[in-house]
Structure 1
Amino acid sequence: MKNIVLIVCIALFGINANAQKKEKTYKVLTACGKCQFDMNSPNGCALAIKIADKNYWVDGSSISDHGNEHATDGLCQTVRKAKIQGTFEGKRFTSTSFVLLSEKQKKKK
């Protein structure tokens, strides 16, 4: 009897562990929504992403988390690629992970 209860408990624990959602990873374009994506922003410069030709404001990461936004390589000046995780909620993306991808250096001939 004890063995049956133990097996049932282990099986339920295993099912519950597999039921946890794993967030999907996306590769997106990112920049200042106001400066680069022409999005209306009541708060000025803010981080945004573009995926499938749609723009989303980002919560959970700010534009200043990724360096000086007004530097020559800053997100107000250029569009960069990023690898992100999180969830979409309407016109916003709530980020749990937001990593800018390094820019590839052009090979000199």
Structure 2
Amino acid sequence: MKKILILVFLGIVACNTPKEKTQIVEASCGQCLYGLDSQNGCDLAIKIDGQAYFVDGAHIDDYGDSHDLNTGFCNVVRKAEVTGKIEDGRFKASSFKIVEE
């Protein structure tokens, strides 16, 4: 009986744990272009299904000058391939790669 309960418990935990997935998303500055105001300064954010999330695990300046007129996240929306999950209203990235168009 104990073994069955343990297996049921493990099954429930496995089903409720948010899974990481890889997807193509829009990426930009959360404050400048997505209107997020929960933190100060320029920070990397992505949009999934029309909802913007700040990104943990990648920094806005890791991909060049964020204020560059042609490629900076504060001025343009770029495409990115990301892997991660949404947790506590933020996107926890285990990988973040710019997709060149």
- Which of the pair has the greater relative contact order for Cα pairs under 8 Å at 6+ separation? 2
Cα shift at 1:95: 0.5
Whole-Å Cα distance in 1 between the matches of residues 20 and 32 of structure 2?
29
Q: CA RMSD in A?
A: 1.8
Runs of at least 5 residues in structure 1 that lack an aligned partner in the other structure: 1-18, 104-109
Q: Tell me the TM-score normalised to structure 1 length.
A: 0.71
Distance across 1 between alignment mates of 2:20 and 2:54:
18
Query: Percent identity at matched positions?
Result: 47
**TM-score, normalised to structure 2's length?**
0.76
The 2-side partners of 1:93 and 1:23 are apart by: 10
Q: Any runs of at least 4 consecutive aligned residues in structure 1 with deviations exceeding 6 A, and if so which? A: none
Corresponding residue for residue 73 of structure 2: 75
1:90 to 61, 67, 88: 88
Distance apart, 1:41 and its partner CA: 4.1
Contact 1:47 1:62 in 2 (8 A): yes
Residue type of the alignment partner of 2:52? N
